[in-house]
């Protein structure tokens, strides 16, 4: 579909609802104290610089990029932990699929330990687990990868704060202003509601949007559980033009 840009309705993005996102300064998450800008953000109607963004081809992907169980295997041994498939659809606010966009993910191992030189938690390293992967959404906006369920872990914030099991996500969309980083949690985990980082999201319904649902239909029998996590990026103001949506 060709983009027909009309004056004043040029496919700009919907205004971002900052009351739905965490504010910059959230005292319960102490790292924000000195890193949160204090001046108001300057409102900038998106220009070509923000309405375009990098594109990535499927050819950049290696065959194991979306298989964290095997992509860091040192000797053919698979990663330790609860095997699972994480999948979902990337959509925009107009509920349209976002195809061919890069999705990156990273996580701790099954014991809650990251493979990182600054990580000091005493849980064991898994020699066959690197903790990162990536994929590109298909024509319908779907992504999937295989991994092990990450463990919960303690972190220096309060005297005894713990992160619930989670997976980090980075998503591009098709415009640089759609760029998003977030975290996915697991349905039924009581620790979600005790976490200061989860608690930076102001609205309970917003937090619910970060929780992946157990999906029995997509499990691999005798192998892996499945969790579904849909991701919504900002949508464009589409112009109604000859009864067709244009500008996307």
Partner 1 sequence: MLHPVPTLRETPSQTAGPYVHIGMTPNFAEIRGIYDADPGLAMLTPQTVGERIKIVGRIVDGAGSPVGDAVVEIWQADASGAFAAPMGPTSNSAPPFTGWGRQPVNAEGVFTFETIKPGPVAGPDGKPMAPHVSLWIVARGINIGLQTRLYFADEAEANAADFVLKKILDPRRRQTLIAPREEGIVPRYVLDIYLQGDKETVFFDI
Q: Could you say which residues in the range 152-211 bind partner 1, by CB under 8 A?
A: 168, 170, 174-177, 179-183, 197-198, 200-201, 205-207, 209-210
Q: Which stretch binds partner 1 (CB under 8 A): 32-40, 78-86, 140-148, 219-227?
A: 32-40
Binders of partner 1 among residues 135 to 154 (CB under 8 A) are none
125 touching partner 1, by CB under 8 A:
no
Q: How many residues bind partner 1 (CB under 8 A)?
A: 99
DSSP for residue 213:
E
CB 169 → partner 1: shortest distance, Å?
8
1 touching partner 1, by CB under 8 A:
no
53 touching partner 1, by CB under 8 A:
yes
Sign, Cα dihedral of 101, 95, 139, 183: positive
CA 165 to each of CA 107, 131, 148, 197, 198: distance values in angstroms, whole numbers, following the listed order: 9, 13, 11, 12, 11
Name the residue with tokens 């998003």.
180
CB 12 → partner 1: shortest distance, Å?
9
CB 224 → partner 1: shortest distance, Å?
20
> Which residues are catalytically annotated?
114, 153, 163, 166, 168
**109: which 2 tokens?**
């191992």
DSSP for residue 177:
G
Q: d(Cα 188, Cα 192) in Å, to the nearest integer?
A: 9
169 contacts 136 by C-beta, under 8 angstroms: no
Among 26, 128, 135, 137, binds partner 1 (CB under 8 A): 26
């Amino acid at each position: 579909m060709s983009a027909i840009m009309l004056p004043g309705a040029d496919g700009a993005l919907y205004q971002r609802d900052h009351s739905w996102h965490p504010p910059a300064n959230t005292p319960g998450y102490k790292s924000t104290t000195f890193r949160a800008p204090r001046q108001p953000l300057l409102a900038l109607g998106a220009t070509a610089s923000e309405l375009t963004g990098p594109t990535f081809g499927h050819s950049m992907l290696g065959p194991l990029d979306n298989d964290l169980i095997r992509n860091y295997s040192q000797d053919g041994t698979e990663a330790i932990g609860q095997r699972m498939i994480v999948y979902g659809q990337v959509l925009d606010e107009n509920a349209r699929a976002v195809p061919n966009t890069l999705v990156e993910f990273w996580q701790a191992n099954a014991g809650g330990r990251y493979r990182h030189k600054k990580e000091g938690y005493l849980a064991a390293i898994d020699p066959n687990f690197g903790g990162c992967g990536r994929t590109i959404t298909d024509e319908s906006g779907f992504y999937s990868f295989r991994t092990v369920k990450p463990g919960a872990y303690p972190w220096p914030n309060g005297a005894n704060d713990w992160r619930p099991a989670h997976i980090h996500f980075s998503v591009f969309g098709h415009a640089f202003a759609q760029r998003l980083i977030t975290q996915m949690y697991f349905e039924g985990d009581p620790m979600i509601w005790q976490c200061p980082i989860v608690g930076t999201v102001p609205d309970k319904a917003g937090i619910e949007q970060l929780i992946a649902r157990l999906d029995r239909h997509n499990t691999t029998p005798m192998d892996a559980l499945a969790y579904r996590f849909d991701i919504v990026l900002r949508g464009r103001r589409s112009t109604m033009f000859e009864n067709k949506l244009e500008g996307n």
